[in-house]
Amino acid sequence: MIGAVQLGVLAACVVVLVPMGMAGYHLSRNKMLFFSGALFITLAIGVHLTPYFPSVNDFVTTVSSVVVFENRRESCLSHLHDVVWEVTPSPNFNPLDNNTVNYDKSWAWTSSSTVSACGFQKLGRFDASDLLNGSWVVVAGDSQARLVALSLLSLVLDSGPLEKVNRDLFKRHSDYQIVVGEIGMRLDFIWAPYTFNLTHLVNGFKRNRNYPDVLVMGSGLWHMLHFTNASDFGVQLQSLRSASVSLLPFSPDTGSDRPVTSSDRPVTSSGSGSVSGRSPHLFWIGMPTLINSMLNTEEKREKMTDAMRGEYDKELHNSKILRKAGGPLLLLDIESLSWNCGVRCTVDGMHYDMPVYEAALHIMLHALLIESHQKL
Ligand SMILES: *[C@@H]1O[C@H](CO)[C@@H](O)[C@H](O)[C@H]1NC(C)=O
Ligand SMILES: *[C@@H]1O[C@H](CO)[C@@H](O)[C@H](O)[C@H]1NC(C)=O
Ligand SMILES: *[C@@H]1O[C@H](CO)[C@@H](O)[C@H](O)[C@H]1NC(C)=O
Ligand SMILES: *[C@@H]1O[C@H](CO)[C@@H](O)[C@H](O)[C@H]1NC(C)=O
């Protein structure tokens, strides 16, 4: 600790020498006097006040670490999809079987230094249970959403109950609800093939003033097949966007045009590490890569072309429903995950093997961890 006297001497030296140095170079005499005065006052106030605010140092350290932490958080969110795949022929490869059984797939986050710094790791059942303890999760949408729901249940359930889920959840086109007793997690799967159905759902939450903690939605494939009209899809997305925005306490529509970030959301944990809070965490399940030649009906191959897929994508981005365009939903990018896993990860060019949805789930769980300021 430097004593007040030493500080005073130091201050005096600075007051005299700095302006003299400056004068010697490029400041006029008047400016020098002004600088001298300003420096003197600043230092005097500093010297006199420091004893009363011993925590100034702590404060400065806290502010800078918050800034670093916020930057790191945003950077880690943007690297969540940096995933690499390993797809290898399985030991009992049989040319008559399909890709699902003939190739083993596994994924991992890339080992680049930026990604390693984020410390992503696959979550085990315990971590996931801890994170989702006491929360209400709603997954709504088409078959892609159903696969995401299934991968979540595969992570938190034992194999016995999981088999029953597999049977029930795969009844075509129906809703499904389960409460996982041990962690008090409730999961609803809502069959909602069209974006219109999702808007309806979100408006229902709003009406009842009862929101899930995590809401994961996705649609588009059904619309592409049955309406084949990208601009209509865009119109539906915009109404879903306004409905979703109104679920959040601070919205891009009421404030400036800045994106809704996690720091806008109060995180009031109920369980030990749970994500349940007052406003929902919202995710969008993107459409998968479509491999046209593998689609299983003539109608699909005709309507769900690469060009049409591109137009639907453009509408998704133009609708500003996604976080990166200033909207409320964080994208789970099934397209990039499925593209990188590749043609050996699908049998019908549209539904991919479970590891693809498992990767999407882990990305979502890590986003929840990052947003609720938690570390593993
Ligand atoms: C792939 O092959 C397995 C085993 O032959 C079969 O159970 C499964 O239904 C097939 N999947 C598809 C989508 O054809
Ligand atoms: C979804 O919306 C369509 C179009 O309005 C409607 O006909 C259908 O019944 C809805 N489906 C569900 C499951 O809500
Ligand atoms: C596509 O949807 C838009 C908006 O709903 C509508 O105005 C247009 O007529 C539709 N186009 C076709 C070809 O149906
Ligand atoms: C869930 O939270 C409750 C209450 O905080 C706690 O007693 C229980 O042990 C937690 N369960 C798990 C699996 O974390």
Q: What is the DSSP track for 8-42?
A: HHHHHHHHHHHHHHHHHHT--HHHHHHHHHHHHHH
Task: Give me the pLDDT at residue 79, please.
Answer: 95
Ligand 1: centre distance to CA 100 (Å): 7
Ligand 4: centre distance to CA 310 (Å): 45
Task: Give me the pLDDT at residue 359, please.
Answer: 98
Ligand 2: centre distance to CA 372 (Å): 34
Ligand 2 near 196 CB (within 6 A): yes
> Which ligand 3 atom minimizes the distance to the CA of 229?
1
Give strand pairing partners of 141.
191, 218
> Which ligand 2 atom minimizes the distance to the CA of 200?
14
Find the ligand nearest to 236 CA. 3
* Ligand 4 site-directed mutation target among 135, 182, 272, 374, most atoms within 8 Å of CB: 272
Q: 242 with 253: CB under 8 angstroms?
A: yes
Ligand 3 near 238 CB (within 6 A): no
Ligand 4: centre distance to CA 273 (Å): 9
What does the DSSP 8-state code read for residue 200?
A: H
How many angstroms separate the CA atoms of 103 and 98, rounded? 9
Q: How many residues does the chain have?
A: 376
Ligand 4: centre distance to CA 126 (Å): 11
Task: Give me the pLDDT at residue 159, please.
Answer: 79
Phi and psi based region of residue 207 (left: phi greater than 0; alpha: psi -120 to 50; beta: remaining): alpha
Ligand 2 near 222 CB (within 6 A): no
SS3 331: strand
Ligand 2: centre distance to CA 197 (Å): 6
How many angstroms separate the CA atoms of 268 and 283, rounded? 19
Q: 352 with 251: CB under 8 angstroms?
A: no
Ligand 2: centre distance to CA 253 (Å): 28
How many angstroms separate the CA atoms of 254 and 257, rounded? 9
Could you give the count of Cα atoms lying within 13 Å of 337 in the half-sphere of its Cβ?
32
Task: Give me the pLDDT at residue 376, please.
Answer: 45
Task: Give me the pLDDT at residue 6, please.
Answer: 58
Question: Which DSSP string do the residues of 119-175 spell out, in sequence order?
Answer: T-----HHHHHHHHTT-EEEEEESHHHHHHHHHHHHHHS-HHHHHHHHHHHTSTT--
Q: 291 with 343: CB under 8 angstroms?
A: yes
Ligand 1 near 225 CB (within 6 A): no
Which residue's C-alpha comes closest to atom 2 of ligand 4? 271
Q: In the CATH hierarchy, which top-level class contains the domain 85-371?
A: alpha beta
Residue 291 in tokens: 């491999």
Ligand 1: centre distance to CA 351 (Å): 12
* Ligand 2 site-directed mutation target among 196, 200, 221, most atoms within 8 Å of CB: 196
Ligand 1 near 98 CB (within 6 A): yes
Ligand 4 near 129 CB (within 6 A): yes
CA–CA distance from 310 to each of 97, 160, 291, 316, 371 (Å)? 31, 41, 13, 10, 31
How many angstroms separate the CA atoms of 191 and 169, rounded? 10
Of 199, 279, 201, whose CA–CA distance to 241 is shortest? 199
Q: Is 273 exposed, middle or buried (0-12, 13-18, 19+ CB in 10 A)?
A: middle
Q: One digit per residue, pLDDT tens: the chain, 376 residues?
A: 445 545 544 544 444 444 444 443 333 333 333 334 343 434 344 445 455 554 555 544 444 555 566 677 888 999 999 999 999 999 999 999 999 999 999 999 999 999 999 999 999 999 999 999 999 999 999 999 999 999 999 999 987 888 888 888 877 789 999 999 889 999 999 999 999 999 999 999 999 989 999 999 999 999 999 999 999 999 999 999 999 999 887 544 443 333 333 333 333 334 444 565 557 999 999 999 999 999 999 999 999 999 999 999 999 999 999 999 999 999 999 999 999 999 999 999 999 999 999 999 999 999 999 988 665 4
Ligand 3: centre distance to CA 27 (Å): 69
Task: Give me the pLDDT at residue 46, please.
Answer: 44
Ligand 3 near 228 CB (within 6 A): no
Domain assignments of the chain as residue spans, ordered by start: 4-52, 85-371
> Which ligand 1 atom minimizes the distance to the CA of 348?
13
Task: Give me the pLDDT at residue 374, please.
Answer: 62
Q: 316 with 370: CB under 8 angstroms?
A: no
Ligand 4 near 144 CB (within 6 A): no
Q: 104 with 88: CB under 8 angstroms?
A: yes
Q: 310 with 335: CB under 8 angstroms?
A: no
Question: Which DSSP string do the residues of 67-124 spell out, in sequence order?
Answer: HHHHHHHHHHHHHTT-EEEEEEE-TT--TTS-HHHHEEEEEEE---HHHHHHT-----
Task: Give me the pLDDT at residue 163, please.
Answer: 85
Mode of pairing for the β-strands spanning 330-332 and 281-285: parallel
Q: 79 with 111: CB under 8 angstroms?
A: no
What pTM does this model have?
A: 0.78
